[in-house]
Amino acid sequence: MELNQDFRCKNGAPNKVNGRGILKHASNVYTLTMFKRFEEELMDCIDLNCVEFSNIENISLYHVTEDGHERIYYVEFDVPNSIVSCSCKMFESLGLLCRHALWAFLMNNIKNIPEKYILRRWTKKAKLLLASDFRASSAHEEKSSCLLRLSELNHIGYNLFDKGSLTPKCTQFVKEKLFDALHLVEKETATMQKTNDSKISKHTSFQDAINYGSGRSSEN
């Protein structure tokens, strides 16, 4: 499914892209899966309330809040160099710009995502390079899939922790469910490890039998 989506994405922009602005640029560089994540963040800018509280030597500082939430995010934007940072640290953990940082881009009429904020592993070009390298494609695809799954979990976790921290009851609920999930994951990984060890053991026994037979033949 993901490969088919990426193929369609390489051969045309997603339908919602109107042909201009930062969303158009995102559709040109990201795989469809990552473009959808980017689009979600961009659309969520609608629910932001932002106040510029400082502007010194072309470096703007913003207070950003989301409708229905009291938490304040701090965004610093270096206008001449298009360098942005946000206290939520979403880019550092997911490799994708958050809605708070994107708001700063929109307010400053930034039409393209700066290269420093486009991670190669989420781009169409990376997919094409992987597809052309048949000798290492299997290992690279597995690593890419693992990173994508990690990004997906981080994205869900970011929203979960943000909302779960609002009240003690929510925090306790999230902690209980996380411990349950951790138990299930550890159980699954233990089963996988046991299966892999069994396969290795069988392969080793078979190889030992072959080596033993070869040794007996040479003695005769």
Q: What's the farthest any 2 CA atoms get from each other in the chain? A: 90
- At position 83, the amino acid (one-letter code) is I
Is the Cβ–Cβ distance between 48 and 64 less than 8 Å?
yes
Query: What is the number of helices (H) and of strands (E) in the chain?
Result: 8, 4
Per-residue model confidence (pLDDT) at position 128? 62
Neighbouring C-beta atoms of residue 128, cutoff 10 Å: 12
Domains identified in the chain, total number: 2
Per-residue model confidence (pLDDT) at position 125? 80
Q: Has residue 17 got a pLDDT over 60?
A: no
Mean pLDDT to the nearest integer, 85-112: 92
* Model confidence pTM above 0.75: no
More confident residue, 218 or 128: 128
Is 98 found in the same domain as 161? no
Of 97, 132, 167, which one is at a domain's C-terminal end? 132
Is 210 found in the same domain as 121? no
Is 91 found in the same domain as 14? yes
Is 148 found in the same domain as 98? no
Tell me how far apart the alpha carbons of residues 152 and 182 are, in angstroms, rounded to a whole number. Answer: 17
Is 27 found in the same domain as 53? yes
Kindly report the backbone phi and psi dihedral angles of residue 53, in degrees, each rounded to the nearest multiple of 5, phi listed first: -105, -5
Mean pLDDT to the nearest integer, 16-35: 81
Tell me how far apart the alpha carbons of residues 154 and 152 are, in angstroms, rounded to a whole number. Answer: 5
Of 94, 111, 132, which one is at a domain's C-terminal end? 132
Mean pLDDT to the nearest integer, 18-32: 84
Is 142 found in the same domain as 44? no
Q: Which residues span the domain enclosing 13?
A: 2-132
Is 116 found in the same domain as 22? yes
Is 196 found in the same domain as 105? no
Is 108 found in the same domain as 9? yes
Neighbouring C-beta atoms of residue 151, cutoff 10 Å: 20
What is the per-residue pLDDT across 172-211, written as a single tens digit (0 to 9) for each? Answer: 988 898 888 888 888 888 887 877 666 555 555 545 555 5
Is 25 found in the same domain as 128? yes
- At position 125, the amino acid (one-letter code) is K
Is 94 found in the same domain as 28? yes
Q: How many alpha carbons fall within 13 Å on the CB side of residue 97? A: 32
Measured N-to-C along each axis, helices 99-107 and 21-29 cross at an angle, to the nearest 10 degrees, of: 130
Is the Cβ–Cβ distance between 112 and 22 less than 8 Å?
yes
Please measure the distance between the N-terminal and C-terminal CA atoms of the chain and give it in whole angstroms: 57
Of 132, 149, 165, which one is at a domain's C-terminal end? 132
Is 123 found in the same domain as 147? no
